[in-house]
C-alpha cells in the first residue's frame, strides 16, 4: 500500500510546469492557490480510498467530504472573479450526470439483489458443486460462467458467486483456490468489458453517447483473449484430480418467482436499449420503469410468500427492523413476515452509490477548474491515443477505473470510435493486473482471506499482462486504430 500511496502523491508533482501555469476554460485557476488546494483535497481523499482496508473507513466518506469542499472552493473562486452563475451551472450539470448514473445502478442492483434473495445464484452454485467435475473442469466452468454472467450481472456479484464455488470445491487445495480466484477475477472483468451493463465504466460510456449499444460487442474477441490467455497459462498449475465426494452434497433450489424476476430483468434491459436507441430517451428511464414493474411483482410475491429466512449477503433480510404484526393488530395472532421489495432495495451497495457521487462531483470540479483539459492535451497530444489509452488501462490497476474513465469522458479528447472502444477495453480489463485494481479482486481477497492475496495475484500478473497486450493487439487488428 505504501508504494501506491507514494506513487499517487507524486502524480501531480511530476507534471510539467507548463501544465500548472496554463489557462483552463477561460479562467486561470490551474495555477491559483484555490486550484492547487482542490487538487490536494482530492488526492488526500483518494489516499483514504486506497487505504480502505487499512483505515477501516468506507470509501464513500472521504470522497463525499472532498466533493463538498472542492465545490465550495470553486464557488468562492468564481465569486471572487465576480461570476456568480458559472459554478452553480457546472455543479448542476455534474449532479445531473450523477443522478442518471445513480438511478440506473439502483435499479440494476435491485434486480440482482432480488435474484439473490430468490436464491437463483445459490441454486446455480449448488448445481455446479454437485456436478461430477474434475478440478480442471471446475476451473474452466467457473471462469466461463464468470465471463458470460458479468455482462448481465455486475462483475462484483459474479466474482463473489464463482469465487464461492471455487472455495467450496477446493477447500484444502490452496493452489487450486488461489489460481481459481485469479481466473474468476480476470474472467469477470473481461466479460464486463464488452457490454454496457457489465461494468460501471462501460455504462458511463454508453450513457454519454460515445458508443452505441451494439458497438460494445466489437470488443468480444479482444475481451475473451484477455481472459483465455492467462487462464490457459494458469491451468497448468492445477492438479488433474477430482474434488472430495463430500463436496457434492449441498442441495439448494430457487424460491418461487426467481425465473419471473429474471425474465423481468431481461425485458427491462430490452426496454432500456430500445427507448435509448429508438426514442433517444435517457437509458435511466427504461431501468426505472422496470424497477417499478419489479415492485409491482414484489407486491404479488408479498401476498403469497411466507419465507422468513434467507441466505447469501442479504441473509435474514425479512427479519431486520420488522414490526410485530401482533402489535399492529392489537391481538395475539402469529407473526407473518413476507417478501418485502423495499427490504431488498435496502440491501443495495449504498457505499458504492455514494462513492460515485464523490467521484463524479470531485472530478467534475477539477474539470471546471481546467485541470482535466490540460491533462488531456498533455497525454493525448504528446503520446497519441493508442499509447495513451493503453497506459490509462494500466493506471486503472492502481487507481479505481471509475474515476479514471469519468476523467477521460470529462476530458472528451478527439478520438475515433475505435479509440473510445480501446479505452473502454483497457479500463475494463486493466484492473485485473493487480488484485486491488478492481472491485471483484478486492471482494475476493476478503472472501478468500489468507489464500487469495495481493502477492499470490502478483505472481501471475505477467500472464495477465500478456493477455492485456494481446487483447489490445487483437482490437487494433480487428477494429482498426
Q: Is 131 among the domain residues?
A: yes
Q: Is 377 among the domain residues?
A: no
- pLDDT, tens digit, for every residue of 240-267? 776 665 555 556 788 888 899 989 988 9
Q: How confident is the model at residue 28 (pLDDT cuts 50, 70, 90)?
A: low
Q: Is 366 among the domain residues?
A: no
Q: Is 308 among the domain residues?
A: yes
- pLDDT, tens digit, for every residue of 353-387? 888 788 889 888 888 888 877 777 778 888 888 99
Q: Is 412 among the domain residues?
A: no
Angle between helices 417-429 and 401-411 (to 10 degrees): 160
Residue 343 has pLDDT above 80, yes or no: no
d(CA 180, CA 93) in angstroms, rounded, equals 43
- Write down the pLDDT at residue 210: 86
- Write down the pLDDT at residue 92: 93
Residue 306 has pLDDT above 60, yes or no: no
- Write down the pLDDT at residue 330: 41
- Write down the pLDDT at residue 226: 95
Per-range mean pLDDT, top range of 84-88, 372-376, 380-384, 431-435:
84-88
CA 231 vs CA 201, 228, 306: distances in Å = 24, 5, 44
What average pLDDT does range 407-422 have in this prediction? Answer: 87
Q: Is 68 among the domain residues?
A: no
Q: Is 120 among the domain residues?
A: yes
The whole-chain average pLDDT of the chain stands at 79
- pLDDT, tens digit, for every residue of 189-243? 999 888 887 777 888 888 888 888 888 899 999 999 999 999 999 999 888 776 6
Q: Is 372 among the domain residues?
A: no
The total domain count for the chain is: 1
Judge contact between 366 and 70, C-beta under 8 A.
yes
What average pLDDT does range 331-342 have in this prediction? Answer: 53
Q: In which domain, by residue range, is 160 found?
A: 103-178+231-346
- pLDDT, tens digit, for every residue of 157-198? 788 778 878 887 777 788 888 999 999 999 999 998 888 877
- Percentage of residues in the chain with pLDDT exceeding 70? 81
Residue 290 has pLDDT above 60, yes or no: yes
Amino acid at each position: 500500500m505504501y508504494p501506491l500511496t507514494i506513487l499517487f502523491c507524486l502524480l501531480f508533482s511530476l507534471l510539467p510546469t507548463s501544465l500548472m501555469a496554463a489557462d483552463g476554460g477561460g479562467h486561470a485557476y490551474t495555477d491559483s492557490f484555490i486550484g492547487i488546494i482542490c487538487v490536494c483535497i482530492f488526492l488526500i481523499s483518494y489516499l483514504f480510498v486506497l487505504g480502505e482496508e487499512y483505515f477501516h473507513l468506507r470509501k464513500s466518506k472521504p470522497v463525499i467530504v472532498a466533493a463538498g469542499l472542492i465545490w465550495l472552493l470553486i464557488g468562492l473562486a468564481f465569486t471572487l472573479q465576480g461570476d456568480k452563475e458559472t459554478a452553480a451551472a457546472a455543479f448542476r450539470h455534474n449532479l445531473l450526470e450523477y443522478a442518471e448514473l445513480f438511478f440506473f445502478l439502483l435499479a440494476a442492483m435491485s434486480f440482482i439483489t432480488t435474484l439473490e434473495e430468490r436464491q437463483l445464484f445459490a441454486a446455480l452454485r449448488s448445481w455446479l458443486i454437485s456436478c461430477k467435475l474434475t478440478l480442471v473442469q471446475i476451473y474452466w466452468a467457473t471462469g466461463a460462467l464468470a465471463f458470460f454472467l458479468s455482462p448481465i450481472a455486475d462483475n462484483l456479484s459474479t466474482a463473489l458467486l464463482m469465487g464461492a464455488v471455487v472455495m467450496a470445491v477446493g477447500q484444502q487445495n490452496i493452489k487450486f483456490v488461489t489460481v481459481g480466484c485469479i481466473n474468476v477475477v480476470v474472467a469477470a472483468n473481461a466479460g464486463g468489458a464488452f457490454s454496457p451493463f457489465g461494468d460501471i465504466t462501460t455504462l458511463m460510456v454508453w450513457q454519454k453517447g460515445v458508443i452505441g449499444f451494439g458497438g460494445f460487442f466489437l470488443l468480444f474477441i479482444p475481451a475473451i483473449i484477455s481472459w483465455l490467455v492467462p487462464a490457459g497459462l494458469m491451468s497448468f498449475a492445477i492438479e488433474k484430480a477430482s474434488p472430495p465426494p463430500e463436496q457434492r452434497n449441498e442441495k439448494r433450489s430457487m424460491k418461487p418467482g426467481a425465473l419471473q424476476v429474471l425474465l423481468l430483468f431481461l425485458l427491462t434491459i430490452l426496454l432500456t436499449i430500445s427507448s435509448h436507441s429508438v426514442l433517444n430517451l435517457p437509458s435511466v428511464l427504461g431501468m426505472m420503469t422496470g424497477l417499478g414493474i419489479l415492485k409491482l411483482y414484489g407486491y404479488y410475491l408479498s401476498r403469497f410468500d411466507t419465507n422468513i429466512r434467507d441466505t447469501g449477503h442479504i441473509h435474514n433480510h425479512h427479519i431486520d427492523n420488522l414490526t410485530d404484526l401482533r402489535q399492529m393488530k392489537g391481538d395475539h395472532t402469529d407473526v407473518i413476515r413476507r417478501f418485502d421489495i423495499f427490504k431488498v432495495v435496502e440491501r443495495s451497495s449504498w457505499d458504492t452509490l455514494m462513492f460515485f457521487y464523490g467521484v463524479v462531483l470531485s472530478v467534475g470540479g477539477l474539470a471546471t477548474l481546467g485541470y482535466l483539459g490540460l491533462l488531456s492535451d498533455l497525454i493525448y497530444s504528446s503520446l497519441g491515443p493508442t499509447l495513451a489509452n493503453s497506459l490509462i488501462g494500466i493506471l486503472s490497476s492502481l487507481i479505481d477505473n471509475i474515476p479514471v474513465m469519468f476523467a477521460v469522458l470529462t476530458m472528451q479528447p478527439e478520438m475515433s470510435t475505435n479509440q473510445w472502444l480501446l479505452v473502454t477495453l483497457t479500463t475494463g480489463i486493466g484492473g485485473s493486473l493487480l488484485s486491488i485494481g478492481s472491485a471483484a479482486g478486492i471482494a475476493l481477497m476478503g472472501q478468500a482471506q489468507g489464500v487469495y492475496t495481493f502477492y499470490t495475484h502478483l505472481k501471475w500478473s505477467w500472464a495477465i499482462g500478456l493477455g492485456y497486450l494481446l487483447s489490445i493487439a487483437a482490437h487494433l487488428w480487428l477494429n482498426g486504430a
